[in-house]
């Protein structure tokens, strides 16, 4: 078990500068415990527990039988790009050309391509603190510098536009937003998104959790407010397709050729049968998606209520994605101050996997992220174990 970076002699400097993804380290220790016969309840990893919808699987099987096993266009199948454009028009009322879309093997490659296209050495990208753990590594790997702007629990971890304005500088190339958010589960309001869109640089919007919204709220695409934007999205979360590795970026027209050339060189094209499956996901799974969304909402309400009963701080209830970022400092500021040590202690003593807030930067130190992408029965058992742990070890 190690949460330290690589030794400088082990590899190139840019690789050695990468920080570990702590949730994966927690998960990997949990798997070792399971191999030893220990029952672990997983509330650390953000992966849907549902099977991929049948229509998606059938589309992939049909593509294989029909010989759709060759390279596709480097930007992705035209049919898939057309379906994505239609989806954005139907859901958000925005016009996106299929020529602005580059399909990738998951959303992570879309991030890598985008930051490589956008940033020169030393250019800056504004990110929230807390943020998805991997954002700074993508930015630094492309030669950029992440500039953190604190967001706060009392605001539902939303950006304050005036705080962004204070961090804008001559090297600022982008403002990164993620709504619904990982790790917080919160959404950016329409007013705040409009204000962010009014700043000079490009907005980079991670929309991978779109569609997973509850309680009457509605998510907004940044494309509703500006065309100076890059949008990341994909099929992993909403359609329970994590292992299929299918994502895309919608980019301003002037960047598309550069993204395409990088895709040609580094990836050639996304998996062909998976792309055909993606078309089916967009066109044929509305009932499956609603069933999964409704189930997540039931789990969300159950988890929030139980965590509050235990004394965790949740000032603004999250209404998106499948995460709750809960304040453990209110229970025990001394023990919760090191959220990584606390997460490992919970795993060791209570056999529950949770994600330490420090994985998402200093602004989430003292917090724990809980994922409700697990069955209600498992969540209930995990929270029972957590309550016993809190009463025995954590409560002040």
Q: Given a cut of 70, is residue 8 above it in pLDDT?
A: no
pLDDT recorded at residue 217: 82
* Confidence grade of residue 1 (pLDDT, cut at 50, 70, 90): very low
User: Over the stretch 87-117, which tens digit does the pLDDT of each residue have?
Assistant: 999 999 999 999 999 999 999 999 999 999 9
CATH code assigned to 54-285: 3.40.640.10
Where helices occur in the chain by DSSP H, the ranges are 13-16, 22-35, 54-65, 78-92, 107-118, 135-141, 161-167, 190-197, 253-266, 272-284, 286-310, 333-336, 339-350, 376-389
Share of the chain above pLDDT 70, in %: 97
Report the range of poorest mean pLDDT among 7-21, 65-79, 191-205, 370-384: 7-21
Q: Confirm whether pTM is higher than 0.85.
A: yes
Q: Given a cut of 80, is residue 5 above it in pLDDT?
A: no
What's the CA gap between 232 and 387, in Å, rounded?
A: 37
pLDDT recorded at residue 2: 45
pLDDT recorded at residue 185: 96
User: Over the stretch 104-151, which tens digit does the pLDDT of each residue have?
Assistant: 999 999 999 999 999 999 999 999 999 999 999 999 999 999 999 999
User: Over the stretch 314-354, which tens digit does the pLDDT of each residue have?
Assistant: 999 999 999 999 999 999 999 999 999 999 999 999 999 99
Provide the residue ranges of all domains of the chain, joining segments of one domain with +: 8-51+288-394, 54-285
8-51+288-394: in CATH 3.90.1150.10: yes
* SS3 state of residue 132: coil
């Amino acid at each position: 078990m190690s949460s330290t970076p690589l030794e400088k002699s082990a590899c190139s400097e840019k690789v050695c500068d990468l920080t570990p993804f702590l949730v994966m380290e927690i998960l990997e220790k949990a798997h070792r415990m399971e191999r030893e016969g220990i029952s672990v309840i997983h509330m650390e990893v953000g992966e849907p527990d549902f099977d991929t919808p049948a229509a998606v699987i059938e589309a992939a099987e049909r593509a294989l039988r029909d010989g759709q096993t060759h390279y596709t266009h480097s930007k992705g199948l035209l049919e898939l790009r057309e379906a994505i454009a239609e989806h954005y028009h139907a859901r958000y009322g925005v016009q996106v050309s299929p020529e602005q879309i580059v399909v990738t093997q998951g959303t992570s490659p879309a991030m890598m391509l985008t930051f490589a296209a956008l940033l020169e050495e030393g250019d800056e990208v504004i990110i929230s603190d807390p943020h998805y753990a991997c954002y700074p590594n993508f930015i630094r790997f492309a030669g950029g510098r992440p500039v953190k702007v604190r967001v706060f629990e009392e605001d539902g971890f939303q950006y304050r536009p005036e705080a962004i304005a204070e961090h804008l500088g001559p090297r600022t190339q982008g403002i990164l937003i993620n709504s619904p958010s990982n790790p917080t589960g919160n959404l950016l309001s329409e007013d705040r998104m409009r204000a962010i869109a009014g700043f000079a640089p490009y907005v980079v919007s991670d929309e991978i959790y779109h569609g997973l919204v509850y309680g009457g709220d509605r998510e907004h695409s940044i494309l509703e407010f500006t065309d100076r934007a890059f949008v990341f999205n994909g099929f992993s979360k909403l359609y329970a397709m994590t292992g299929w590795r299918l994502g895309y970026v919608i980019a301003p027209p002037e960047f598309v050729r550069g993204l395409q050339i990088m895709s040609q060189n580094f990836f050639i094209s996304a998996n062909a049968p998976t792309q055909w499956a993606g078309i089916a996901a967009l066109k044929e799974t509305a009932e499956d998606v609603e069933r999964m969304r409704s189930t997540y909402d039931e789990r969300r309400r159950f988890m929030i209520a139980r965590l509050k009963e235990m004394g965790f701080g949740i000032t603004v209830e999250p209404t998106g994605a499948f995460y709750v970022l809960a304040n453990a400092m209110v229970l025990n500021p001394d023990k919760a101050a090191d959220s990584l040590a606390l997460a490992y202690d919970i795993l060791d003593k209570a056999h529950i996997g949770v994600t330490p807030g420090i994985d998402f930067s200093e602004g989430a130190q003292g917090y724990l992220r809980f994922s409700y992408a697990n069955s209600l029965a498992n969540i209930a058992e995990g929270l029972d174990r957590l309550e016993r742990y809190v009463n025995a070890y954590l409560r002040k």
